[in-house]
Amino acid sequence: MQIFWMRNSLIGFFIFFMGLEASLGQSYQYDHQTENCLDRESQLSGYNPRAPTECTFARHPKWYSKDMTNFKLTGSQVEFGDLRFAKMNGAKIDACHFQQTFFSGANLLSAKLNKSSFVGSYFENANLGLVFAESADFSGIKASGIRFDGANLEKAKFIGADLWGASFVGANLSGADFTNAVVLMGTFRGALFDDKTILPFSVAEALKKGMKHR
């Protein structure tokens, strides 16, 4: 009798374990198919894991080296994302909040980043040439070698940012804030600034670097 009870208990436990494993497997498959770690409450619109076009919330998105040209992420929140080497030419990323997201080596040429926050994110060697980033917050970013050539960075914040070797050639820096930013070896030739710009160096040095006062 005792042996019969133990056998039934073992069978029941085996069935329960197999059901649990299947359930976990389905959850893993869901995450794998979307190629990120979106939770089940995420709201997606027209999301394609191979070529994402639009979403409103993403947690741990794995978009490494993705072709995200013209990607729409307006008013969205992205947490701990991996967008290294992503191709985001012409992307619309206005009024978004990025938390600890990696953009290293990404190409955001001509993207729209107005009023977006990238505080504490990583942009090493990223290309943000010709971006529209008015009132964007890049405070605390790690962005050695980043390129902002020809970008509109009016009223943008770079407080405490690491911009070693960054290029701002021809950028509009009117009203931008570079308080405590590191800009060693940076290039500012032809960049515009005004009386509201908080420069990381003196006005005299700015003019020596080829910057232009508006």
Res 48: pLDDT:
41
Res 16: pLDDT:
42
Res 60: pLDDT:
84
Sign of the torsion formed by the C-alpha atoms of 181, 159, 204 and 164: positive
Res 55: pLDDT:
60
pLDDT 10s digits, 53-103: 556 677 888 899 999 999 888 788 888 999 999 999 999 999 999 999 999
Beta-carbon contacts of 139 under 8 Å, excluding residues fewer than 6 positions away, are 119, 120, 157, 158, 159, 160, 161
Res 74: pLDDT:
79
Res 160: pLDDT:
98
- Helix then strand count (H, E) for the chain reads 2, 5
Residue 54 near residue 45, CB atoms below 8 Å: yes
Res 59: pLDDT:
80
Helix, coil or strand: residue 52: coil
Helix, coil or strand: residue 198: strand
pLDDT in tens, the chain (214 residues): 544 444 455 445 444 444 433 333 332 222 323 333 333 333 333 334 444 455 667 788 889 999 999 988 878 888 899 999 999 999 999 999 999 999 999 999 999 999 999 999 999 999 999 999 999 999 999 999 999 999 999 999 999 999 999 999 999 999 999 999 999 999 999 999 999 999 999 999 999 999 999 9
